[in-house]
Structure 1
């Protein structure tokens, strides 16, 4: 078991450094060795961290190559049938140099192509590069035991064993703003959801073929979850099924003992782990090491069952006490180990920690027994689900609102939700409560939840529905994910024999009457092995793998902080009316990633200090003002000890890189709700007002607390005209106004009569996560050149703006007219004008009509909205960035383009002048003169670019760090 990473790049830049950053981030999963490969073209990089299990010699080093060097592979997992496959390949002429199962992948691919995956039995994820065919072949095992994520950022495509690999290579990788919704509903992130944008799981039982030449790929299933009864088993008797089940479980455990290092077993005392411990000892030539954990609370102890199995089998059993003090002490490491948020990872963390202490590298787990053989209540409850659903829908929503959990989960059945039945069985919070925790609209929560693919249970029998939900969601996305992440954190390989491919196919093909008889708990598995197990193990009520969290959590002060856990939920927990998992989930939803280096028993953390940033939007809308709001949020981040709060009228789903979820409140455009809560709060000493349109709210606050200090942000056009009413009042009432440009300041003074001494000018800045890397070897992004069909020597002119029929001041009409003049004067000139940005259909039609009237429509492309991960590549591709706007308060796009070395043209009559430092960073033109704009384009296209000098200048003026320092000083 190891960790892998791969990059397929269209840019060929810094691949060696990038792939090493990815594998370094996952070093705990492969402490024994590391390796990297960059192909000769600089297009594909493979990286590997090795945990040596089979052939621990250097012969098992990865990336591993074929004899002729045309194939390279990185592999994570184990192929349990590799001896048989190796023999089959040797029989047809292939020669092996190692005892590693990795080599089977190389020869197997040569012999069978992509059909190789159908022959593999094991747990695996691999990326194989066919250098000659310029094709990448990636695959994941039949049950999704081993993870494999893929994602796109700009022109590069990535694979990684962990999500943290993506942020290691691109620290500014945008988050998935909706992940908290899924987490609060499920208690984990259901596949394919991750915390990052454009990063998802390769589905279990699927492979991907990626064409390196065209940068295109397709995903194909090779193993499907098929519950159709196998023709051979339609008449099978129960006793026959018991006999075959026993044989298949025995074969699975025997094959999972394949290892060149000692193998241990997690022995909880339950049926599944007891069977595995029994069989492992039977098939082993040495004494098997087993281990378990226990607590000082006898209510949670399973000592008697564990000891009974240990005495019956002769295994060497070890027990470890997990105390409340150790849990508190271990929290920073637990938080650091979570690759993705989960309410259940803590259990596995401790047992894996102790396995490593015993010197084990491989352990067997009983995971999968309940999911395959019907060990959960859902297998029985599913038979009455449709009746329950009808009753719930007839009863209305009131019972769901009045009841406590778990009964409150009937609220999932009132909505048309994907996977509603699963959520009814195992859901964490209903949409109503998720909306409360995230300050979002319930309808928005439901919309997000329905974006996840639903498990197809149409015309499926009740118990089989439970099988699909338990294996396809709970086991897949929580149990297997947590087990993999926590075991690899401790450099430990965790194997799951009960998910053996042959055993899984056997269970899926059985008739319901045999595998899931009514009112029986795991009958096939228990009846197959009860003669070999102590009766106290199999003849008892099922007990899950749990901790005494209710008692422990009740002593943790930080959960009482209503910024981390809403007060309503903590009060329910204190009264015994809310399970610890829900308290924990609410806490993680607001704090995940924020406190990785702090312990749970610290009670200080965040406390608001009476300062509020009140703004319209930063994440729900796009534009210059929204960028300024994000820079302000980042500057005020409470980690600096400032204790600021933030309220937004429009936002609800927040990018926590800028401001922590626990310190911000959004109102999803509910203005009445916003005003009500805002006026009721009435406790702020200082309010930083993000926009003058919030004047009425400030006026209401002022009626109740007239000594509140008010600072107003003034951006541009919104304050240039004569203000009236509340807005006029706010301009006079504000103790200080921060203007983004001297031009805006002059308008405030001359038009609105604001005293100049209370206005401070603070120019805008680059986004904190704006990446300005440049190399002398950098070229234009190839993937964009291909997308836009850019021809050699064709010049690229770029505008990035909001294209609205109601706002015609951005100057792109003038650019179109200037380009028509330029083309008439220089017919041989090759160019393309990319007019990028979100547009309305009316404006789109108007622009093209204008271009057609000037006969330049063939040279214009309006691609629409540009994703965050591609914006900077668009700047890099452009030969000139132009936006001769007449009403820019500042123009952040100008400094973004300049920061990437792109020549810039802007208007000379507004805040644009200050963004370009009076012409130091670009050319300023008369926005009314088509001739001047044409000449500016012509001259700029023929200028030699001084990229590094321009970047240095931009950073010296507009770097975020400088802005933050000045901003914080300004609001002191």
Structure 2
């Protein structure tokens, strides 16, 4: 797990020395992602330079140093992430004539790309963002993993193409334009985080998950998709469900086994829920690991899950530690994180994720998580709520009076609905409008079961919010997080599940719960689900948020008034909207404090 940065000079007047100094500064800004080592490389013609900060996990010797050059000297790579099946791929490559100098997964990735090109990406079980320079044709290749577990930002401004693991590093570019438009603000409010390929900055982009991008002397081409997750409907009989439980059990076993490979201590986040509990159960019961598990709790909050985590740790035999957060300080925590987030993210569980990551890093370097389990195996109650509503409106759906897409992307999958956004900007700006229309059409123009439709749109639009939260909060603490639920084998298996395998006994994750029952009492698994975060209706927290929001209206340092008029902010703070909640206040306040800590240039309307 690392930080990467690079520049490809297409047509700027920067000298090779200036490019070298700039790339080194970019990587230095992300030192928290890689505190163990640093490296730099520049092409002979000075056109391309890449820098790397390393968090040493696999092969902690100098053999894993980056940037890394291929054996034939033709290619150089900077890589952020892990290739979990690198040992298997290494053996296959050796069988076809490859030689290796280290035990590093980076060298396996580099050799595989050198031998097979981008087709090699389809063999990888891992998370990654990387830059690969090919001196034979003077091109740079960027690639990102299938679900976007690892970030990869880029921009092309003033003749310079640049990429990095964090958006802030790009702001160091000379003449950088930090333009932020109504389009981007409204998209953030609707989706909780701006979906790829867009970012909070008009001229910067995120490489979409499962995509590559090639840059040549004439500039960047168009991103090309190499991986896509799509759920399918295939009705399973009771007998085949039993076989699928066995199959999933074996897939989880192999996925956890691969993710236990490291030359540093490994622990696990443990919430007491089915995803993290099943992961820890496999670690302890199948592999005999004395797991160090970690959780977070909230003082005086009924929804705090730390007691469940403690009880689960006792049941599974893990050594357990937890940290308690005082809700009275939640707003202060938000301000602190807003100042260090590379891009605003409304997910309020950033706070507990940050603190549990900090606790874990004091004892381990890697932590297992349960992320992706809800999307892969239908763990969100909103899926079944909407399915029931659709059933009740079946005749209205046929007559087009009621739409699944609008119901979901207004009341469930959309934080600030259209009428809120219209009140802020007079109309829904173009980008947010287009993205919402696309998401709604994807749900409406589909014959699959509603649960499978929702899983797919959440993998595209909501899972990135969750994964960005985990990546940013863990890496601020130099901690690597690994999830077994997003391996390509499990993702393929989950994509083929029918609703009958996802929903049973009145609960989601039916097939995953059947696997979990092999380790955990069924009565435990039937408890109500708790979210990994503060009770949003906690009077302490909401009271502090309201107090802070009212201060915002008279604070001369308020930056948000450059984007949203004070009168409209006042309407938002006054809770004049139906279903106005903790999360809306949180999103507005976090955006203001993010703007105070970052470069920005407002532009009303949609920039061209």
**Deviations 1:272-310, CA, capped at 9 Å, x for gaps:** 111111112234454211011112224023244222321
Residue 257 in structure 1 maps to residue 241 in structure 2: no
Question: 1:579 pairs with 565, 578, 581, which one?
Answer: 581
Change (3 A) 1:236 1:22: farther
For residue 38 of structure 1, what is the aligned residue in structure 2?
Answer: 42
For residue 182 of structure 1, what is the aligned residue in structure 2?
Answer: 187
TM-score (norm: length of structure 2): 0.88
Change (3 A) 1:459 1:305: same
Residue aligned with 1:176, SS: strand
**Deviations 1:825-850, CA, capped at 9 Å, x for gaps:** xxxxxxxxxxxxxxxxxxxxxxxxxx
Offset at residue 77 of structure 1 (A): 0.6
The answer to whether the 8 A contact 2:293-2:321 is kept is yes
For residue 139 of structure 1, what is the aligned residue in structure 2?
Answer: 143
Task: Quote the Cα distance in structure 2 between the aligned partners of 1:9 and 1:246.
Answer: 49
Task: Quote the Cα distance in structure 1 between the aligned partners of 2:49 and 2:169.
Answer: 14
Offset at residue 91 of structure 1 (A): 1.5
Residue 309 in structure 1 maps to residue 312 in structure 2: yes
Residue 366 in structure 1 maps to residue 362 in structure 2: no
Change (3 A) 1:332 1:448: closer
For residue 825 of structure 1, what is the aligned residue in structure 2?
Answer: none
Question: 1:449 pairs with 433, 450, 456, which one?
Answer: 433
Task: Quote the Cα distance in structure 1 between the aligned partners of 2:463 and 2:26.
Answer: 27
For residue 229 of structure 2, what is the aligned residue in structure 1?
Answer: 225
Change (3 A) 1:42 1:545: same
Residue aligned with 2:136, SS: coil
Offset at residue 452 of structure 1 (A): 6.8
For residue 333 of structure 1, what is the aligned residue in structure 2?
Answer: 336
For residue 754 of structure 1, what is the aligned residue in structure 2?
Answer: none
Offset at residue 20 of structure 1 (A): 1.4
Task: Quote the Cα distance in structure 2 between the aligned partners of 1:480 and 1:22.
Answer: 23
**Deviations 1:777-808, CA, capped at 9 Å, x for gaps:** xxxxxxxxxxxxxxxxxxxxxxxxxxxxxxxx
Task: Quote the Cα distance in structure 2 between the aligned partners of 1:395 and 1:89.
Answer: 55
For residue 592 of structure 1, what is the aligned residue in structure 2?
Answer: 594
The answer to whether the 8 A contact 1:234-1:510 is kept is no
For residue 463 of structure 2, what is the aligned residue in structure 1?
Answer: 475
For residue 889 of structure 1, what is the aligned residue in structure 2?
Answer: none
Offset at residue 320 of structure 1 (A): 0.8
For residue 281 of structure 1, what is the aligned residue in structure 2?
Answer: 284
Task: Quote the Cα distance in structure 2 between the aligned partners of 1:230 and 1:133.
Answer: 46
Change (3 A) 1:346 1:298: closer
Task: Quote the Cα distance in structure 2 between the aligned partners of 1:160 and 1:567.
Answer: 37
For residue 875 of structure 1, what is the aligned residue in structure 2?
Answer: none
Task: Quote the Cα distance in structure 2 between the aligned partners of 1:236 and 1:419.
Answer: 37
For residue 485 of structure 1, what is the aligned residue in structure 2?
Answer: 472
The answer to whether the 8 A contact 2:83-2:109 is kept is no
Offset at residue 390 of structure 1 (A): 8.3
Residue aligned with 2:302, SS: helix
| Alignment root-mean-square deviation, CA | 3.1
How many residue pairs were aligned? Answer: 579
**Deviations 1:633-660, CA, capped at 9 Å, x for gaps:** xxxxxxxxxxxxxxxxxxxxxxx8457x
Change (3 A) 1:341 1:297: same
The answer to whether the 8 A contact 1:186-1:423 is kept is no
The answer to whether the 8 A contact 1:271-1:537 is kept is no
For residue 299 of structure 1, what is the aligned residue in structure 2?
Answer: 302
The answer to whether the 8 A contact 1:237-1:514 is kept is no
Task: Quote the Cα distance in structure 2 between the aligned partners of 1:501 and 1:420.
Answer: 31
For residue 855 of structure 1, what is the aligned residue in structure 2?
Answer: none
Residue aligned with 2:575, SS: helix
Question: 1:506 pairs with 460, 468, 493, which one?
Answer: 493
Residue aligned with 2:419, SS: helix
Residue aligned with 2:44, SS: coil
Offset at residue 92 of structure 1 (A): 1.8
For residue 512 of structure 2, what is the aligned residue in structure 1?
Answer: 525
Task: Quote the Cα distance in structure 2 between the aligned partners of 1:390 and 1:561.
Answer: 49
Residue aligned with 1:184, SS: helix
For residue 7 of structure 1, what is the aligned residue in structure 2?
Answer: 7
For residue 73 of structure 1, what is the aligned residue in structure 2?
Answer: 77
For residue 118 of structure 2, what is the aligned residue in structure 1?
Answer: 114
Question: 2:384 pairs with 380, 386, 391, which one?
Answer: 380
Task: Quote the Cα distance in structure 2 between the aligned partners of 1:115 and 1:313.
Answer: 41
Change (3 A) 1:502 1:577: closer
Change (3 A) 1:388 1:25: farther
For residue 549 of structure 2, what is the aligned residue in structure 1?
Answer: 559
Change (3 A) 1:452 1:198: farther
Question: 1:319 pairs with 312, 319, 322, which one?
Answer: 322
Task: Quote the Cα distance in structure 2 between the aligned partners of 1:78 and 1:395.
Answer: 47
Task: Quote the Cα distance in structure 1 between the aligned partners of 2:63 and 2:541.
Answer: 48
Task: Quote the Cα distance in structure 1 between the aligned partners of 2:551 and 2:20.
Answer: 45
State which drifts further: 303-312 or 108-117.
303-312
Residue aligned with 1:124, SS: strand
For residue 150 of structure 1, what is the aligned residue in structure 2?
Answer: 154
For structure 2, list consecutive stretches of 5 or more residues without a partner in the other structure: 559-565
Offset at residue 71 of structure 1 (A): 1.0
The answer to whether the 8 A contact 1:181-1:449 is kept is no
Task: Quote the Cα distance in structure 2 between the aligned partners of 1:386 and 1:446.
Answer: 32
State which drifts further: 135-144 or 363-372.
135-144
For residue 529 of structure 2, what is the aligned residue in structure 1?
Answer: 542
Aligned counterparts, 1:846-885, within 5 A: none
Offset at residue 94 of structure 1 (A): 1.4
For residue 694 of structure 1, what is the aligned residue in structure 2?
Answer: none
Offset at residue 26 of structure 1 (A): 1.3
Offset at residue 83 of structure 1 (A): 0.2
Question: 2:210 pairs with 205, 218, 226, which one?
Answer: 205
**Deviations 1:537-569, CA, capped at 9 Å, x for gaps:** 301111111214532231353222362683344
Question: 1:56 pairs with 53, 56, 60, which one?
Answer: 60
Q: Which has the larger radius of gyration?
A: 1
Offset at residue 392 of structure 1 (A): 11
Offset at residue 234 of structure 1 (A): 8.9
Offset at residue 445 of structure 1 (A): 2.8
The answer to whether the 8 A contact 1:362-1:492 is kept is yes
Residue aligned with 1:487, SS: helix
Task: Quote the Cα distance in structure 2 between the aligned partners of 1:448 and 1:379.
Answer: 23
Aligned counterparts, 1:741-760, within 5 A: none
The answer to whether the 8 A contact 1:127-1:137 is kept is yes
**Deviations 1:298-342, CA, capped at 9 Å, x for gaps:** 402324422232122211000111113554554443122211111
Aligned counterparts, 1:720-739, within 5 A: none
TM-score (norm: length of structure 1): 0.56
The answer to whether the 8 A contact 1:19-1:46 is kept is yes
Task: Quote the Cα distance in structure 1 between the aligned partners of 2:406 and 2:473.
Answer: 27
**Deviations 1:178-227, CA, capped at 9 Å, x for gaps:** 211011112221222201123222221222233x2332424322222233
Change (3 A) 1:70 1:562: closer
For residue 349 of structure 1, what is the aligned residue in structure 2?
Answer: 354
**Deviations 1:505-543, CA, capped at 9 Å, x for gaps:** 011123333334584321000011213114453011111
* RCO comparison, higher one (Cα < 8 Å, 6+): 2
Change (3 A) 1:235 1:387: closer
Residue aligned with 1:127, SS: strand
Offset at residue 252 of structure 1 (A): 1.2
